[in-house]
Amino acid sequence: MRLRDLLTQRNFLIFSGLMAFFSLGCAFIAQYLFDISPCILCLYERYFYGGVLLCGIVAAINFYPNLVYKLAGFILWGGVALAIYHTGVERHWWQGTAACYGMAAKAKSIEELRTLLQAKPMGRCDQVSWAILGISATYLNLLWFVGFSGLWEVVRRRNKC
């Protein structure tokens, strides 16, 4: 069996779903075991990983594979857009949203203020929270989404979807 024969929509969805599961697992381990606080954009990127994971699960049961494949493409390209934005914020190419700097929540009472002050602070989008071999998690997200979007395009062209 050649590699070319493995480049099917279903195999791509299952593989990318498994990789999304692994990536989410790493993110949750970093957050809860190593006490690394994610920023709001990191949390938003998890939704894209979850979408890819769901597409992989649906593909595994072979339910509307062509439709799920196209949906996965939209999810992946949305992940690319968010990862580019997140990278730009981290590199200070542009400013992030108010939530990136912890300004999203405004207390309306003393009790709310006390709760906000006692809560664990959220990570900032413009600062590297952790890196592997000098590569920040933001770059890893960008590489992941660009890589899988590129592979999605290769499979799409091969299968004429």
d(CA 116, CA 106): 9
How much is the pTM?
Answer: 0.85
Tell me how crowded residue 83 is: count the other CB atoms within 10 A of its CB: 23
**pLDDT by residue for the chain (161 residues), tens digit each?**
676 667 888 999 999 999 999 999 999 999 899 988 888 899 999 999 999 999 999 999 987 888 999 999 999 999 999 999 999 998 889 887 777 776 545 667 777 766 765 666 677 777 777 777 888 889 999 999 999 999 999 998 888 75
End-to-end CA distance of the chain: 22
Question: Which two tokens mark 110?
Answer: 């003393």
Given a contact cutoff of 8 angstroms between Cβ atoms, the answer to whether 138 and 129 are in contact is no
Q: CA-based angle 150:58:137, to the nearest 5? A: 45
Domains of the chain (ranges, CATH numbers): 3-159 (1.20.1550)
